[in-house]
Structure 1
Amino acid sequence: MNRAAATGSLALTLASALTLTACGGSGGAGVAADAKQTLTVWAMGTEGEKLGDVAKEYEKTHSNITVKVTPIGWDVAHQKLVAAAAAGKLPDVVQMGGTYLGEFADMGVLEPVDTKTFKEGDFFPAAWQQGSYDGKTYGVPWYVDTRVLFYRTDLADKAGIKKAPATMAELQSAARAYQEKAGAKWGLSVQPRGLDTVQSFYPFLFSAGGAIVDDDGKAVVNSPSAVKALENYGSFFKKGLSDKGVQPGYDVTKDFNTGSVAMFFGGPWFTGLLDDNYPDLKGKWAIAPVPADQASVSMAGGSSLAVSADSDHKAAAKEFVSYLTDAKGQAEWFERTKDLPANKAAWESGDLAGDPALQIWRKQMDTARSTPSQPKLTEITSKVDAAIESVTQGKSTAKAALDKAQSEIEGLVQ
């Protein structure tokens, strides 16, 4: 999923899905790519706000095309997409968050990707997987998101920490040292509860070799590896190394700036937030890969671009999506937004190739994982959110919590 939590009504989703037909296309060749036409595009959050400028640049070299970009807030995106799909009024091109795509592909409202134009090998494997459902690809990776470890280097010196923690055991030792020797209130900040707590848990889960749903679509959230990961995650709260009282919407950068929090897992946008809001902190923090359990594996998030199955402008839509997702387009998009490119070739020049910190993100994406697309993925992950909360709040063991989640998720997977 993306940086902002996406919500929607499950009842509306299910009801709408029942009314939809697996249309698979508009029934004709549609409008030719070189004909005069208007493309409608929906994009979410910051991307929606900035895509309009890119669209204007595109129009300069495609005089026959008018691109109408509608920014949509992530808080209402799911609801709007469901309503538009039910009415047969999806835009020609739509941004799809990782948890959405399986649901809308299952409805039959997305056009399969032309894999002769868009090649799987050009993109990070986890990004391509997010755009795929039931053996077909419906979304072209646009940008990727993963988590790495942010840590205070100046406080590490005080704590006697010589290097970034490379293992989960070292992560816990470092958290304790930051508290006992460097005055941090919390050694590590990870989310204890609330919507999308699972995103904070993924680095622990995937690094331990666990998963929520395996590649065959089977629920495996109570596997020994997953239980081990949640026991480790919960131990930070049980030992007082992490704050179990953190509320949804908490801004970790404020406490990271003061030194109250010494480490946290975060996405690439945190770099800009820290540089812009706390310039005096520059040189006092760094990033490192996710500490390894079996391996160093973080979550893969981000978004894909999909074309409506009912669009009369599929040819032009495909050209616009290609413009946004080729190496050049994604490198330019990074300069505008700092969104990490999903196209691997975009990383071969400029700052993306030469900046050592950016290469940490690049390396992390090579092993990053995502949960396979499922029509009810948002509901599935909510069951894991509840399991995590029961452990961090001391109400359940990891095994009991994940056994309960497993029984609930088994009826949701397809």
Structure 2
Amino acid sequence: MKLRLATAAALALTLTACAPSTSTPGAAPSDGGARTGTLKVWLFDEPNRAPKEKVVNEAVAEFTAAHQGTKVDIAYIAVDTRSERFKGAFNDPASAPDVVEYGNTDLPEYAAAGGLADVGPAVTAWSEGADLSPDAKSSATYEGTLLGVPWYVGVRALYYRTDIFQELGLKVPTSIAELTTAARTVRAKKPELFGVAVGGKYTYAAMPFVWDAGGDITSLNSAQSRAGLKAYTDLIADDNCPPQQCADLTGGKTVDLFASGKAAMGILGNFNRAAVDAGAAKGKYAVVPLPGSKPGSIAPAFAGGNNLGIMKNSQRPALAADFLTLLAGKKYQSEMYDAMGNLPTLKSASAVVAAKDKFVEPFITTISNGTKFVPLDPGWGKIDASAVLPTMIEKVATGKSTVEQATDEAAKQVDAALTK
């Protein structure tokens, strides 16, 4: 869909209002830059790129048909080296792409570098822009400025073995207390299984317990955060998931445990479906939202995912906005789910996906209930790289530290890393 000229002009004014601190872009015309020529796009590479590439190529064909005299050059960049590539583009306007895909946890670093454009005017004028949920937009917003359009989101929910629950006469948990009881019952009656696979290094399985209790990453030593952490680490015990086997489990390893049939429950993502279906648990499981402490409640989940943004150095900001909103629209979000299993961020696309695939309902319900995110601060990268949160969880799980000691230590590290 092509944005109105007024939108292009508004975007252009936003893009040219100030240059990133690391570079000086060329002068951009007030009409939004050149309307022809080559639009450069960076998207993340995938282990199996073909399905994604097929959808993107379809979008490119639609875009070029509607924009005569234009071409779209798609470059698939390695996720592991994305930071270096982006830094280079921020510093060298000539090498900068126009449209970029980036992880939502990358936002603080890229925003601090001044390399991303304000896409607020484009989203406001976009007919589907109002369909983005506030939580989705918040993960692409830095200091009040919208620096991208959430392209897809991933959240975690509770996978459980329907055959084991039926055999043991267990009810699907509707609270953390019920989940804990069911996990211990499984372990007692089937000691070869873990009740629920939980890991000391699985940050995004632990944080919903903290958030549900009213805690947060920025207040780890609060009473609420400590209560949530204790609820999670109490599951890393001999009567469920023994510390000697589970204290160093990562998210990937917990997926393996559930998929291989060694756990009756697991806190896994919508994006783990293929891995589970490739294992012994295939056809023997169901999914519900991860319950909170209050019966019938849903624990807040971490909303991971990727955004589409426009580089501030773009010489074709209006064309970039047109392509971004096309690729991020309902049509291609729905097709990306079919191709890659990526959950849409647009409510209308989510409805389409849910109608044809009941598997996604608990994940969409989780998103609708409200999600959480990491601190939008450049210091988050240091916290993540230093493994502050998993170290905290693991120390409590192994008994090396009390909840109070571990949270005090982690809170100091978080405070020191955050710049705000």
- Would you say same fold, with TM above 0.5? yes
Matched, 1:405 2:413: no
Matches within 5 A, 1:128-277: 128-161=137-170, 163-193=171-201, 197-212=202-217, 219-242=218-241, 243-248=245-250, 250-275=252-277, 277=278
Residue by residue, what CA displacement relative to the aligned partner does 1:246-271 show, whole Å, maximum 9, x if unpaired?
45574445432443211111111222
Distance 1:244 1:261 in 2: 12
Distance 2:272 2:346 in 1: 22
Matched, 1:326 2:329: yes
Q: Structure 2 counterpart of 1:96, which letter? A: Y
Does the Cα contact within 8 Å between 1:24 and 1:108 map onto a contact in 2? no
Distance 1:207 1:147 in 2: 14
Does the Cα contact within 8 Å between 1:151 and 1:264 map onto a contact in 2? yes
Query: Would you identify which runs of 4 or more consecutive aligned residues in structure 1 move more than 6 Å?
Result: none
**Structure 1 pair 398–98 and aligned structure 2 pair: CA distance change class (3 A):** farther
Matched, 1:343 2:346: yes
**Structure 1 pair 46–164 and aligned structure 2 pair: CA distance change class (3 A):** farther
Query: 1:273 deviation in Å?
Result: 2.4
Matched, 1:311 2:298: no
The aligned residue for residue 11 of structure 1 is: none
The aligned residue for residue 288 of structure 1 is: 288
**Structure 1 pair 201–248 and aligned structure 2 pair: CA distance change class (3 A):** closer
**Structure 1 pair 78–164 and aligned structure 2 pair: CA distance change class (3 A):** farther
**Structure 1 pair 22–253 and aligned structure 2 pair: CA distance change class (3 A):** closer
Does the Cα contact within 8 Å between 2:343 and 2:350 map onto a contact in 1? no
Query: 1:124 deviation in Å?
Result: 2.6
Query: 1:58 deviation in Å?
Result: 2.5
Matched, 1:394 2:399: yes
- Report the RMSD for the aligned CA atoms in angstroms: 2.5
Q: Structure 2 counterpart of 1:137, which letter? A: L
Distance 2:106 2:246 in 1: 29
What secondary structure is seen at the aligned counterpart in 2 of 1:352? Answer: helix
Query: 1:245 deviation in Å?
Result: 4.8
Does the Cα contact within 8 Å between 2:259 and 2:275 map onto a contact in 1? no
Q: How many residues align?
A: 382
What secondary structure is seen at the aligned counterpart in 2 of 1:40? Answer: strand
Query: 1:354 deviation in Å?
Result: 4.7
Query: 1:155 deviation in Å?
Result: 0.9
Matches within 5 A, 1:80-159: 80-88=85-93, 89-113=95-119, 114=121, 115-118=123-126, 121-159=130-168
Q: Structure 2 counterpart of 1:27, which letter? A: A
Residue by residue, what CA displacement relative to the aligned partner does 1:164-197 show, whole Å, maximum 9, x if unpaired?
211111111111111122344311112212xxx3
Distance 2:143 2:259 in 1: 45
**Structure 1 pair 226–71 and aligned structure 2 pair: CA distance change class (3 A):** same
Distance 1:146 1:273 in 2: 16
Distance 1:333 1:49 in 2: 12
Tell me the percent identity: 27
Residue by residue, what CA displacement relative to the aligned partner does 1:193-222 show, whole Å, maximum 9, x if unpaired?
2xxx3222222122222211xxxxxx3222
Does the Cα contact within 8 Å between 1:145 and 1:340 map onto a contact in 2? yes
Distance 1:153 1:258 in 2: 15
Matched, 1:298 2:301: yes
Distance 1:123 1:59 in 2: 23
**Structure 1 pair 24–220 and aligned structure 2 pair: CA distance change class (3 A):** farther
**Structure 1 pair 209–47 and aligned structure 2 pair: CA distance change class (3 A):** farther
Distance 2:381 2:39 in 1: 32
Does the Cα contact within 8 Å between 1:200 and 1:265 map onto a contact in 2? yes
Query: 1:387 deviation in Å?
Result: 1.3
Distance 2:172 2:310 in 1: 43
**Structure 1 pair 110–331 and aligned structure 2 pair: CA distance change class (3 A):** same
What secondary structure is seen at the aligned counterpart in 2 of 1:112? Answer: coil
The aligned residue for residue 9 of structure 2 is: none
Does the Cα contact within 8 Å between 1:42 and 1:69 map onto a contact in 2? yes
Unaligned runs of 5+ in 2: 1-19
The aligned residue for residue 371 of structure 2 is: 368
Unaligned runs of 5+ in 1: 1-19, 213-218
Residue by residue, what CA displacement relative to the aligned partner does 1:43-89 show, whole Å, maximum 9, x if unpaired?
24359664432332133231433322222333322333234334444
**Structure 1 pair 375–257 and aligned structure 2 pair: CA distance change class (3 A):** closer
Query: 1:99 deviation in Å?
Result: 1.4
TM-score (norm 1): 0.84
Distance 1:127 1:365 in 2: 9
Does the Cα contact within 8 Å between 1:149 and 1:264 map onto a contact in 2? yes
Structure having the higher Rg? 2
Does the Cα contact within 8 Å between 1:41 and 1:67 map onto a contact in 2? no
Does the Cα contact within 8 Å between 2:52 and 2:340 map onto a contact in 1? no
TM-score (norm 2): 0.83
**Structure 1 pair 79–23 and aligned structure 2 pair: CA distance change class (3 A):** closer
Q: Structure 2 counterpart of 1:316, which letter? A: L
